[in-house]
Amino acid sequence: MTEHVLVERRGPHLALTMNRPERRNAITVAMYAALADAMEQAAGDESIRVITLEGAGVDFTGGNDLADFMNALPQDGGDIPVWRLLRALAVNQVPLIAAVHGNAVGIGTTMLFHCDLVVAEEGSRFVMPFTDLGLVPEAASSLILPQLAGRRVAAKHLLLGEPFGVEEAERYGLVSHRAGAGELAVTLERVVQSLLAKPAQAVRLTQRLLRGHSQDHVLERMNWENGHFSERLTSDEVRQAIMAFFAKRASA
Per-residue pLDDT tens digits of the chain, which is 252 residues long: 579 999 999 999 999 999 999 999 999 999 999 999 999 999 889 999 999 999 999 999 999 997 887 776 655 555 789 889 999 999 999 999 999 999 999 999 999 999 999 999 999 999 999 999 888 999 999 999 999 999 999 999 999 999 999 999 999 999 999 999 999 999 999 999 999 999 999 999 999 888 866 677 888 888 888 777 777 777 888 888 878 877 776 665
CB neighbour list of residue 156: distance below 8 Å, 6 or more residues apart = 162
| Residue 34 belongs to some domain of the structure | yes
Distance (Å, rounded) from C-alpha 228 to C-alpha 231? 5
**Which helix (H) or strand (E) covers residue 242, if one does?**
helix 236-251
Does residue 191 lie in a domain region?
no
8 DSSP assignment: E
Give domain status of residue 244, yes or no: no
In a domain, 159, yes or no: yes
Please give the pLDDT value at position 109: 98
31 occurs within a structural domain: yes
Q: Which domain holds residue 12?
A: 5-179
- Using an 8 Å Cβ cutoff, are 247 and 240 in contact? no
Answer yes or no: is 189 within a domain.
Answer: no
Domain presence at residue 64: yes
Write the DSSP string, 39-92: HHHHHT-TT--EEEEEE-TT-SB--B-HHHHHHH--TTS---HHHHHHHHHHH-
- pLDDT for residue 249: 65
Which run of H or E residues covers position 15?
strand 13-18
Q: For residue 80, how many other CB atoms are within 10 A of its CB?
A: 17
Whether residue 214 lies inside any domain: the answer is: no
Number of domains in the chain: 1
* Global confidence as pTM: 0.92
Residue 84 sits at the vertex; the CA angle it makes with 35 and 212, to the nearest 5 degrees, is 100
135: CATH: 3.90.226.10
